[in-house]
């Protein structure tokens, strides 16, 4: 299912968020939210507008859990409705998604997430859609070298997500990922094998999941909502050969 494939990073983000909240200062007399607490619903939601092999797309996903578990979600971003929510088991909760061909929201627009949970209450979050970044990467590199990607800060971005795949001619592949508030990143300490690196840099508005991070979802629930953007100018590629890396004399 498309929903199941898209939810994997969202569920990973939920587990990370719960762990980070706990690391950020739970004690015997301070209760941190989580699946087992029996408190308000926990929400992780993300929207991304990007470009793929078929052109531009918009994709958004949400995961919500509580104790007791909610029975239904009604989710919108700027009144654009998600599909009906479905139950997932690991971790237990409800999920819903929105998939569109083309971009729905232009950079600069304020995207308002609204989640009605069991008709008991509404949780909301508001983030501006950021401008896509324009990264620069070397056209060629050698095995054993590092790969540095750089770009200028873009309007509305709180941080940047970098994702690339190193593919070898023989079929091996390696995923390289990083999140940073800076405008430069070194994806890997050492390029492992010859092939080609294809990647993108996405601008993200919303809170970065890290120790001490506070969520931006309020109302009947807590959690995190992010909006990511990249276009064809946000893509980069680097050819990797198996020659020894150059050494400075």
Tokens of 240: 């990797």
- The fold of the 140-201+234-241 domain, in CATH, is Immunoglobulin-like (2.60.40)
CA distance linking residue 172 with residue 165, whole number of Å: 10
CB atoms within 10 A of CB 91: 14
Domain ranges for the chain, please list them.
2-131+207-232, 140-201+234-241
β-bridge mates for residue 218, sequence order: 124
pLDDT of the residue at 243 = 73
Burial class (CB in 10 A: 0-12, 13-18, 19+), 36: exposed
Spatial neighbors of 230 by CB under 8 A, at least 6 apart, are 49, 50, 51, 132, 133, 200, 201, 202, 203
Q: Cα–chain-centroid distance for residue 61?
A: 10
Query: Given this model, what pLDDT does residue 17 score?
Result: 52
Q: Would you give per-residue pLDDT tens digits along the chain (249 residues)? A: 345 445 555 555 555 555 444 333 333 333 344 444 456 799 999 999 999 988 999 999 999 999 888 899 999 999 999 999 999 987 899 999 999 999 999 999 999 999 999 988 899 999 999 999 999 999 999 888 888 999 999 999 999 999 999 888 777 888 889 999 999 999 876 788 888 999 999 999 999 877 778 899 999 999 999 999 999 999 999 999 887 555 543
Rg (CA), the chain: 20
Give one word for 36, left, alpha or beta, with left for phi > 0 and alpha for psi -120 to 50. alpha
DSSP letters spanning 154-201: -TT-SEEEEEEEEE-TTS-EEEEEEEESSSEEE--SS--SSEEEEEEE
Tokens of 41: 């619903």
Stated pTM of the model: 0.84
Q: Is 248 exposed, middle or buried (0-12, 13-18, 19+ CB in 10 A)?
A: exposed
Can you give the pLDDT at residue 15? 55
């Amino acid at each position: 299912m498309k929903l199941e494939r898209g939810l994997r990073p969202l569920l990973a983000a939920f587990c990370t968020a719960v762990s980070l909240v706990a690391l950020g200062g739970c004690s015997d007399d301070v209760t941190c939210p989580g699946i087992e607490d029996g408190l308000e619903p926990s929400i992780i939601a993300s929207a991304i507008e990007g470009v793929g092999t078929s052109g531009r797309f918009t994709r958004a996903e949400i995961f919500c859990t509580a104790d007791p578990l909610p029975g239904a979600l009604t989710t919108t971003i700027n009144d654009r409705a998600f599909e009906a929510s479905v139950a997932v088991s690991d971790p237990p909760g409800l999920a819903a998604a929105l998939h569109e061909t083309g971009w729905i929201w232009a950079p600069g627009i304020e995207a308002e997430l609204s989640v009605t949970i069991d008709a008991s209450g509404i949780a909301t979050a508001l983030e501006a859609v950021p401008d896509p970044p324009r990264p620069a990467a070397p056209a060629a590199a050698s095995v054993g070298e590092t790969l540095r990607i750089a770009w200028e800060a873009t309007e509305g971005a709180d941080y940047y997500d970098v994702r690339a795949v190193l593919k070898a001619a023989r079929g091996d592949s390696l995923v390289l990922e990083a999140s940073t508030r800076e405008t430069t990143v070194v994806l890997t300490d050492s390029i492992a094998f010859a092939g080609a690196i294809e990647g993108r840099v996405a601008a993200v508005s919303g809170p970065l999941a890290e120790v001490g991070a506070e969520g931006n979802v309020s109302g009947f629930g807590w959690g995190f909502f992010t909006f990511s953007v990249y276009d064809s100018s946000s893509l980069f590629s680097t050819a990797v050969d198996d020659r020894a890396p150059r050494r400075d004399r």
